[in-house]
Amino acid sequence: MRIALIGYGNMGKEIAALAGEQGIEIAAIIDAEAAGATGREISKEALANADVCIEFSNPGSAVENIKGMAALHKNIVVGTTGWYSKLDEVKKAVEREGIGLVYASNFSLGVNAFFRIVERAAEVMDKLPEYDVSGLEIHHKGKKDSPSGTARAIEKILLERIARKKRAVEGKLDRKIEGDELHFASLRTGNVPGTHSVLFDSIADSIELTHTARNRQGFALGALQAAKWVKGKKGFYSIDDMMKELFE
């Protein structure tokens, strides 16, 4: 199997380093600026030998990158976050071109297991109004979006399963929080690959669930697994579609 990497930042380099161990060949590396890239822009010639493209660029260029790859009839794995306001637009492009695409806020298998743990915990805590709920995510100082896509996925899980929480509040809060609000804060510092916590707190005690990434390998391995999974498929998929085959 051969892949093209669209974006050659930290994640692109991690995927390239691990691909060989998974029996996957790097057919192309497309990046407008990075040293080591085999091409500067998406084109028919640049992607000619790729079975699947893995996109880890930035929120500002992700949608146009996806459209460019879709027009060349390449199946795609999208790990970039921060573009989900244009989800419908991307889905239409995927359907129009008859390709397969799988996207995720986080491709780590551990994070996706964590999502399911949070789902069950939220269902339990929905029945215990004595506990308030909040969240915190921490990432490296170079991350360009806030809150993380993973944090927003956790927010969605909590809001769907805890009836007393109606909306999320992100970032700085200069007032008393309302009882129906879920505060999910973000911190950017150093080289942290990614830490996500959910806190259930009462006057008597607290319960904290945390996923801590030690490095980017988990994200990269998950993206490579997604590339194998989406090869030959047609349709618009989220990571949940892939995970159902593993967890259910």
All structural domains of the chain: 2-107+216-247 (3.40.50.720), 109-212 (3.30.360.10)
Q: Is 106 annotated as a binding residue?
A: yes
Residues in the chain: 248
Beta strand residue intervals within 60-174, DSSP E: 75-78, 100-103, 132-139, 167-170
Query: Among residues 13, 44, 74, 139, which one is catalytic?
Result: 139
pLDDT band at 171 (very low <50, low <70, confident <90, very high): confident
What does the pLDDT average to over 3-30? 95
Residue 39 DSSP class = B
Q: Is 81 annotated as a binding residue?
A: yes
Per residue in 182-226, pLDDT (tens digit) is 999 999 999 999 999 999 999 999 999 999 999 889 999 999 999
The pLDDT score that the predictor gives to residue 81 is 87
The pLDDT score that the predictor gives to residue 209 is 98
Contact 109, 218 (CB under 8 A): yes
Alpha-carbon gap, residue 213 to 160, rounded angstroms:
25
pLDDT band at 247 (very low <50, low <70, confident <90, very high): confident
Sole residue written with tokens 């979006």: 145
Q: Is 228 noted as a catalytic residue in this protein? A: no
Q: Is 189 annotated as a binding residue?
A: no
Q: Is 139 noted as a catalytic residue in this protein? A: yes
The pLDDT score that the predictor gives to residue 105 is 84
The pLDDT score that the predictor gives to residue 114 is 96
Q: Which of 111, 133, 144, 63 is nearest to 213 (CA)?
A: 111
Q: Is 107 annotated as a binding residue?
A: yes
The pLDDT score that the predictor gives to residue 106 is 87
Query: Among residues 13, 74, 143, 183, which one is catalytic?
Result: 143
Q: Which of 7-11, 94-98, 119-123 has the lowest mean pLDDT?
A: 7-11
Question: Taking 80 as the threshold, does the pLDDT of residue 154 lie above it?
Answer: yes
Beta pairing class for 75-78 and 2-6: unpaired
Per residue in 29-50, pLDDT (tens digit) is 999 989 999 999 999 999 999 9
Q: Is 31 annotated as a binding residue?
A: yes
pTM confidence score: 0.79
